[in-house]
Amino acid sequence: MTDGARKSLDPLTQASVTVAWIIVLNKPFYPVYVWYLAREGAAASLGTLIATPFFAAIPFIARRSSLAARVSLPLVGTVDTLFETKLFGPASGTELFYAACILLVAVSFKAEELWWQRCAALIVFLIFVYSRNCIGTPLSVWDRDDLSTLLSLNAFAVAGLTTFIALRSAGNLRAAGLGAGNEHQKHG
């Protein structure tokens, strides 16, 4: 994206595009981490790369529709999380990524997009409930030690991602004058 095109994006969309690129750049390393930490599942972890093109499409979607890009990011993340939970199983901690998806919903919408935000939050939650109750047997079988390792890896990854989202999004609503009730927050 050229500098001129990037400047035409609103702060919320710029943040979403940045998060999408961070995910795209980090996706290829996940199978390497799994191979290094839990060698048995390295081949299965290659399945996590399936969502990479969908995350990579978000910056291009943003050129056409900032709202579509901001809706797409948490929803692509949610479907990716569902798939990875089916791949590794709930005990691997992949469901923790739903928290990052909810955070994206919380920080990605303008006040006038309240219904888009509510719908996205509800979709993420319903897919989490489905994941928690109906996911079935994982596609890859892990021993207890490997599951513990995956849980630690995923907890660290979620903490890093949510921290990045919070740091990247800090002040976006206020700076752009987009937050609900912003006129009351100017003095705080």
Longest dimension (CA), the chain: 55
Query: Does pLDDT of 187 surpass 70?
Result: no
Domain residue spans in the chain?
3-173
- Provide the percentage of residues in the chain whose pLDDT is more than 90: 71
For residue 186, the model assigns a pLDDT of 42
User: How do residues 163-186 score in pLDDT, each as one tens digit?
Assistant: 999 999 887 766 555 544 444 444
User: How do residues 123-157 score in pLDDT, each as one tens digit?
Assistant: 999 999 999 999 999 998 888 998 999 999 999 99
Q: What is the pTM of this model?
A: 0.86
Handedness of CA 58, 63, 64, 66 (dihedral sign): positive
